[in-house]
Amino acid sequence: MDEIQRLSELLSANQRFEEQKHQRFRDDLTQWNASIEALYQQVEDWLARLVEAGQTRFEYEPHLAQNKGYPDENSPFMTRRMCFALGAHPVEFVPDAMGSKGQVSLSVSGLSLHGQEKYSLQLDAGRRDWMLRKTVGVKDTEPLAFTADYFGRLLQGVVPQRQG
């Protein structure tokens, strides 16, 4: 085989590899966006009674998430953030970074004397469940399963407890 033929084969193999890599990236991005939308739908389902009672409503805003490879406005990670309020206390879900190491930040205003508690949600790769970890005020907390009961108890912290 002559060297020009070898060069042609190398270029073709490299092109196929790059196309496969880009397709995997697009597939991963689609899957990540679907997981965020599923998270938002799950939270909406959990809080449906509050919406029906007029105690909260969900709002969505466009959001450009980032990662190390895309740290600026050129990021292909176009998504949205989800917000709602409990009384005067905003709750916000913001996709910080996309991809296999991606996470969604959860901030809840009014849970502590600091004014705002911050948590991160990450997908448990093995089970495909969201895991919650406190990120402000405590060093390296253990991740806990993000369930309706746990989220409900967390949100109860912003509601004044009346004795009576």
Is the residue at 39 inside a domain? Answer: yes
Percent with pLDDT over 90 in the chain? 41
pLDDT digit string (tens) for 117-153? Answer: 788 898 876 667 888 888 765 566 788 889 999 999 9
Asked whether residue 53 carries a pLDDT value surpassing 90, the answer given is: yes
- pLDDT for 62-116, tens place per residue? 988 776 666 666 677 888 999 999 988 899 999 987 766 668 999 888 776 666 6
- Asked if 119 and 134 touch (Cβ cutoff 8 Å), the reply is yes
Asked whether residue 127 is domain-assigned, the answer is yes
Determine, yes or no, domain membership for 164. Answer: no
Residue 157 pLDDT class (50, 70, 90 cuts): confident
For residue 72, give the 3-state DSSP assignment. coil
Q: Which one, of 35, 87, 78, lies nearest residue 60 by Cα?
A: 78
Flag whether 67 is in a domain.
yes
Residue 161 in this model has a pLDDT that exceeds 80: no
Query: 3-30: b or e for each residue (b if 16 or more CB lie within 10 Å)?
Result: eeeeeeeeeeeeeeeeeeeeeeeeeebe
Residue 61 inside a domain? The answer is yes
Residue 92 is assigned to a structural domain of this protein: yes
Residue 25's pLDDT band (boundaries 50, 70, 90)?
A: confident
Whether 3 shows a pLDDT value over 70: the answer reads yes
Whether residue 163 lies inside any domain: the answer is no
pLDDT at position 31, please?
84
Antiparallel, parallel or unpaired: β 59-64 and 103-109: unpaired
Domain annotation covers residue 161: no
Q: By the 8 A CB rule, do 95 and 159 touch?
A: no
3-state secondary structure of 60: strand
Q: What is the residue range of 25's domain?
A: 3-156
Q: Helix (H, G, I), strand (E, B), or coil: what is residue 15?
A: helix
Please tell me the predicted confidence (pLDDT) of residue 113.
60
Tokens of 58: 């969900």
3-state secondary structure 101-158: CCEEEEEEECCCCCCEEEEEEEEECCCCEEEEEECCCCCCCCCEECCHHHHHHHHHCC
In the chain, how many domains are there? Answer: 1
User: Is the pLDDT at 36 greater than 80, yes or no?
Assistant: yes
CA distance 102 to 121: 9
Mean pLDDT of 16-42: 89
